[in-house]
């Protein structure tokens, strides 16, 4: 009997870039995804992402010279990631629109020759303007078809340009979420329900220029089976963040990674971030003190986020996340995706990618072996 042939995952093409594995590693700010993780993912054929959020705080002069420290460190991490990834490796950056120094960070990413810029937490309406003349691929993150429409229309009308791909991030993602708190309680709001509308917008605008805009599904994607599901639903790839935290190459401290291993389902909670958006995190004594009103507002040291009200916030999120990055949770906490509690060990990126590929192959083969649902009479 012939062995069933192994089905590999399809490649992912974003403009002039083609990744041999359709997985973008989600950007994770304040030091969690830097050159080590991004380059490891790129070496395995995925797209590695260095996150710009709060990156300057990892520099010695981060508190006194924040903006310059951010652009300096971002450029050095991109260059390092590219060197470690090799000539075929694809390295991008994640820059949140809400960052006060957004334009400077975008220009720094272009200067350091990032292959793509992934940008959400706000609508990146002026991104084409800031990157004019460069070859960097542009990938907005949206949480609704409406946001996709607004970006597509603005870029098409104002810049005669379209995004090279769109990430649609659903309610199970980690970090800040692009939904109202009450929306997150609706059971009907799922990544599966958001995807068709975004695919439709991408197709409608793509047709105006005769191009296919790939749509990438993000938020709660955990297994090879999930990847297969979203590709079958029309996505061209997935963005995954949480799973990459529990890897040897992730740039966070061992203690940060250990919080993922220890987290139980009931420990993963929604919080109200000072940034003005809900977020998903691992509950701990620091977050409990905040929810009980025990922490007092601090003087805002950075003004790093446009929408953050430093006067009224019970804590500085930038400082809390930098503490967590170093593994100090007395004054910090870790963001996580809704499926984070399913992680039980820290593995190499190579092993994680291999297991995702195996799971994907197994599901595809099982589907192929099934008889057709409706057989002709």
| DSSP annotation of 99 | B
Cβ density class 335-350: b for 16+ within 10 Å, e for less:
bbbbbbbebeebbebe
User: Least CB distance from residue 272 to ligand FMN, whole Å?
Assistant: 17
Is residue 228 within 8 A of residue 364, CB to CB? The reply is yes
Name which of 7 and 184 has its Cβ closer to ligand FMN: 184
Name which of 162 and 246 has its Cβ closer to ligand FMN: 246
User: Least CB distance from residue 306 to ligand FMN, whole Å?
Assistant: 14
Find the residue with minimal CB distance to ligand FMN: 337
Name which of 28 and 292 has its Cβ closer to ligand FMN: 28
Name which of 45 and 174 has its Cβ closer to ligand FMN: 174
Separation CA 159–CA 141 (nearest Å): 19
User: Least CB distance from residue 67 to ligand FMN, whole Å?
Assistant: 17
CB-based contacts of 101: which residues, under 8 Å, 6+ apart? 67, 70, 71, 304
User: Least CB distance from residue 95 to ligand FMN, whole Å?
Assistant: 8
Name which of 45 and 340 has its Cβ closer to ligand FMN: 340
User: Least CB distance from residue 55 to ligand FMN, whole Å?
Assistant: 9
User: Least CB distance from residue 3 to ligand FMN, whole Å?
Assistant: 33
Name which of 47 and 85 has its Cβ closer to ligand FMN: 47
User: Least CB distance from residue 25 to ligand FMN, whole Å?
Assistant: 8
Name which of 222 and 315 has its Cβ closer to ligand FMN: 222
| CA separation, residue 301 to residues 312, 313, 315 (Å) | 14, 12, 11
User: Least CB distance from residue 172 to ligand FMN, whole Å?
Assistant: 6
DSSP string, 112-175: TT-SEEEE-SS--TTHHHHTTTS--EEEEEESSHHHHHHHHHHHHHHHS---S-EEEE-TT-SE
DSSP strand pairing (166-169 vs 175-176):
unpaired
CB-based contacts of 64: which residues, under 8 Å, 6+ apart? none
Count H helices and E strands in the chain, helices first.
12, 13
By the criterion CB under 6 A, which residues form the site for ligand FMN?
Answer: 26-29, 32, 51, 53, 94, 96, 120-121, 141, 169, 172-175, 218-221, 239-242, 335-337, 339
CB-based contacts of 66: which residues, under 8 Å, 6+ apart? 56, 57, 301, 302, 304
User: Least CB distance from residue 236 to ligand FMN, whole Å?
Assistant: 16
Reading the block at residue 156, the tokens are: 């098409």
Separation CA 279–CA 244 (nearest Å): 18
User: Least CB distance from residue 6 to ligand FMN, whole Å?
Assistant: 25
Name which of 7 and 323 has its Cβ closer to ligand FMN: 323
DSSP string, 256-267: HHHHHHH--GGG
Reading the block at residue 157, the tokens are: 């009308």
Name which of 204 and 290 has its Cβ closer to ligand FMN: 290
Reading the block at residue 125, the tokens are: 């309406």
Separation CA 92–CA 302 (nearest Å): 25
Q: Is 67 helix (H, G, I), strand (E, B) or coil?
A: helix
Name which of 53 and 318 has its Cβ closer to ligand FMN: 53
């Amino acid at each position: 009997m012939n062995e069933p042939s192994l089905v590999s995952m399809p490649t992912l093409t974003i403009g002039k870039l083609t990744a041999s594995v359709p997985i973008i590693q989600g950007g994770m700010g304040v030091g969690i995804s830097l050159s080590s993780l991004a380059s490891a993912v790129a070496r395995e054929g995925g797209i590695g992402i260095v996150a710009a959020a709060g990156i300057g705080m990892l520099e010695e002069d981060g508190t006194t010279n924040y903006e310059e420290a951010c652009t300096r460190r971002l450029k050095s991490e991109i260059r390092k990631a590219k060197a470690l990834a090799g000539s075929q490796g694809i390295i991008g950056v994640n820059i949140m629109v809400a960052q006060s120094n957004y334009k400077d960070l975008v220009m720094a990413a272009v200067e350091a020759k990032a292959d793509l810029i992934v940008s959400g937490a706000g609508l990146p309406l002026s991104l084409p303007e800031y990157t004019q003349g460069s070859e960097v691929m542009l990938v907005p993150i949206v949480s609704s078809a409406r946001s996709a429409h607004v970006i597509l229309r603005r870029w098409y009308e104002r810049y005669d340009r379209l995004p090279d791909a769109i990430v649609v991030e659903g309610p199970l993602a980690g970090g800040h979420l692009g939904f109202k708190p009450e929306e997150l309680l609706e059971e009907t709001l799922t990544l599966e329900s958001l995807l068709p509308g975004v695919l439709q917008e991408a197709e409608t605008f793509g047709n105006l220029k005769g191009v296919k805009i790939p749509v990438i599904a993000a938020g709660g994607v955990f297994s090879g089976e999930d990847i297969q599901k979203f590709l079958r639903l029309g996505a061209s790839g997935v963005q995954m963040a949480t799973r990459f935290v529990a890897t040897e190459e992730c740039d966070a401290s061992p203690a940060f990674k250990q919080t993922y291993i220890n987290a139980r389902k009931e420990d993963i909670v929604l919080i109200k971030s000072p940034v003005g958006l809900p977020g998903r995190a691992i509950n701990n004594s620091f977050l409990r003190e905040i929810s009980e009103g025990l922490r007092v507002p601090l003087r805002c040291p950075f003004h790093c986020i446009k929408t953050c009200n430093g006067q009224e916030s019970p804590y500085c999120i930038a400082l809390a996340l930098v503490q967590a990055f170093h593994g100090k949770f007395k004054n910090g906490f870790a963001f996580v995706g809704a499926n984070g509690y399913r992680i039980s060990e820290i593995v190499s990126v190579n092993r994680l990618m291999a297991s995702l590929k195996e799971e994907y192959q197994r599901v595809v083969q099982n589907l192929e072996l099934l008889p057709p649902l409706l057989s002709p009479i």
